[in-house]
Structure 1
Amino acid sequence: MKQDAHSPAISAPTSQPFSSGPVSSGPVSSGLRIDIDNLDEAEVRLQQLHLYVDNHQHDRLLAPMLALITGSVLSIWVTWQVAALWMLVAFLITRNYLRVYNNFKQADPEAADVVKWERRIATAHGMHMLHWGGLCIWAWQPGVFENHIFIAMIVLGLMCATTAMSSPSYRLFIRDMAPVVIIGCARPLFEEGLLYHAMSALSVCFSILMVNVGLQIHRNLLRMLCLQQERRQLITELENMATTDALTGVSNRRAFIQCASEEINRSRRYEHPLSLLMIDIDHFKKVNDTFGHAMGDEVIKQVAQMIERDCRHNDRLARFGGEEFAVLLPESEICLAELTAERIRQRIESTEIIKEGQEVRVTISVGVAELSATDQHIDRLLDVADKRLYQAKNNGRNRVETA
């Protein structure tokens, strides 16, 4: 069915299609599954990715500053050339993932592209995490306790920052946290002494705490996003109920009147022609009495489809009630509207409607009216078209009347 047969002003916006299954934030345990039906998982993941990128926009100022301070302190234990090279690489990696973030925001991707962007962002920011986590390997100075404390502070800071900033996306949170946790917990074990073993055990406990905190933040954000999507879906459904006829899917009378009033104002402002068709199914009560109301409903639905098939892109179709329809024809003088009405009448007359083995043919009567220079409101146009509709019925039905 053509959506544009209705006015954009009176049709509710269509949302992304909703899946029937529950939304899951990723391959996580059943405790993390958010059991909310009828939500689009890809759309939720896209919103999570937007939150993730928004959180990391602060790196624009903080990451270079932290790299400069860290490299300066590292020069105490390594040569200044090595420290400078590390800072340069840190600046380049930061610039690269910030560029990916900006591209993501500018692209404003659809939900279908979320996996592609997750991979790009995971690769770009993963290099950043590996670069900083690598300090535990190459910058670690055996036997220098001050060096070990400094690197441990960096690792703990990375864990805290990742927990706060990466938690919106489960997949990216795990990928960001994994290298830091593994390297940070394992490196002290290569030193001798109970103190270093205690440091490793403390890192493990702190890592478990940070991962659990991050996952709890993720769960709360996921619930919030799911509730927001449910709210948008409900609003869309309510708007559709307010403007759409439930049986045929075309606009209802209320929405048509609102749209027609706007079209009349536009036609008068620019002095463009405007016509209206009032259509009624002939002897519809006989269809209901003979074949039942189920067949009657089927007739109404198929008649609406046939009318819409002969409407142009910018025509407005509505079910006015019962077996009566109205079609607004912008940019149409009465002669063109008469041709459209006759084409619709012939199509319906020649079409056999079949439901559950029952067959029926129906005809329609049509009244046509054109907006005059003195018309101010839709009521007068409706009144003229309605009178011509009843004139068509009085003259034998299955006909179009224009005067």
Structure 2
Amino acid sequence: MSELKTKVRQVESGSIVTPSGFQVAGLHSGVKRKRNDLGVVYSETPANAAAVYTLNQIQAAPLGVTKESIATENKIQAVIINSGNANACTGKQGMLDAYSMRKTTAEKFTIPEHYVAVASTGIIGLDMPMDKITPHIAKLAVGKTEKHATDFGEAILTTDTFAKSTCFATEIDGKKVSMAGAAKGSGMIEPNMGTMLGFITTDAEIDSTSLHLALKQVVDATFNCITVDGDTSTNDMVVVLANGLAENNTLTPEHEDWDTFIELLTNTCEDLAKQIARDGEGATKLIEVNVKGAKTDEDAKKIGKSIVGSSLVKTAVFGTDANWGRVIAAIGYSGAEVNPETINMSIGTMQLLKNSEPIGFSEEDATAYLQNDTIQINVDLKIGNGKGKAWGCDLTYDYVRINASYRS
């Protein structure tokens, strides 16, 4: 992968509108008290589309509408998003409201209704304030400026403390290809796809079947490897739009630059996933777990998520307590195959276990390391070649405070 990594580069000043042919907008419609709460992503041409959705069996109305839109022709030209109201558990009226958002957006951009995807996030179980949303859809003035991107990024947030955005670029078939994304997510983060909204734009030319294949592969290794609190939302999804304006040869798994495209998508999704984990409600630290030596990659992922999902590990990190017993316990109940006699473990560069036996370490140095805002826990099971990563955050007093007053 070292050769490939020289081809994919991060665009520091890039945003969701950096890829050719994409425009966005965001504004305050009144669903929330102050912050922007209505946004749209628009492609100047119909884009091949792929999406993944929450695995929660109770799914909000917008997911059903978006699934229907994409299934019609595998193309999307606009995504309309509101925050502040999830339009979940809202019955038949909720479906009618989601369809209404789709219809109004299609009329605004003069495109077929099935070229519109719909997403909502916010409080579950409240009727949609369509008297606020409908008239403001017509007021969404899309563009490509930094302000447009900022307004959109704010419009999709709920309890997030900052907007999540990223952009990468590479070269395929001698053409510059860009990919960018914006996401929201702070609480109810335990994907298996499902705990956030993510919108990814690219000007790459790729057929929809290959795009879906790539998205599923990459989501499993990125968004599905983060957890904040173990709750899986009713609403959330990741949508990728590829409008082909880079004019590269159509990407499929047989294309010689397929691995480059996968890396481009991986970098985009991983960066957004880490930002979401870092912004967990009340969080002060990002926890990254690196697992190797597992029987399979799937086992490595299970162990990583078990560790970052452990409330005891999360509170130990918050309290700067190098209590490695909590980590070893999370490994043991992960459901992955392990050999209890061969585990190596370190926090940062400080080794704590070798072949499952404790190694003396400086508590003072460990406490000092755990005061950093990014904490790495490294595990080597030494029973195979499986490897994987997972991301999460510490568990703080503020998590309880935020969620105890979410509706007030």
* TM above 0.5: no
Could you state the TM-score of these two structures normalised by the residue count of structure 1? 0.27
Which structure has the highest strand share of the two?
A: 2
Larger Rg belongs to: 1
Judging by fraction of residues, say which structure has more helix: 1
Q: Report the TM-score, using the length of structure 2 for normalisation.
A: 0.27
